[in-house]
Amino acid sequence: MRVIELAQELRVEAGALVSLLRQMGFPVADEEATITAGQQAKVLAKVERGRRAGSTDSAAAIQAVLEEAAPEPRKRRRRRVKADVVEPEPEPEVAEADEAPQADSQEADEAS
């Protein structure tokens, strides 16, 4: 059976039925897709439960089932952005360069 045929049988919009089928976990591309007898039975049982809950119309029952099964919006937290830490540049090692010429001059003094 096609989704559109089941929608006509239940007197609901095909788009609402497609979204219900997707929410139930059935892979349905559009209203022209075919569904198995087992899937049809599960949809009819779901709609019947919706009717028993207080909705007399099939469309209202499907809408109630869709709202009931919709996930609640979750709070999303932003991650804190780490501040750019500027590291100071290392100072060049000047002390070693200054000591080397002094050592040469001391050796020259000793040689004379």
pLDDT tens per residue, range 68-77: 655 556 777 7
**Residue 104's pLDDT band (cuts 50, 70, 90):** low
pLDDT at 97: 52
Cα separations in angstroms, 89 against 86, 92: 9, 9
Q: Is residue 39 part of a domain?
A: yes
Q: Quote the number of domains for the chain.
A: 1
pTM: 0.49
Domain with 63, as residue range(s), is 3-69
* Residue 2 φ/ψ, nearest 5 degrees: -90, 160
Q: Is residue 40 part of a domain?
A: yes
Tokens of 61: 């029952």
8 A C-beta contact, residue 13 and residue 27: no
Rounded to whole angstroms, how far apart are CA atoms 57 and 61? 6
Q: Is residue 92 part of a domain?
A: no
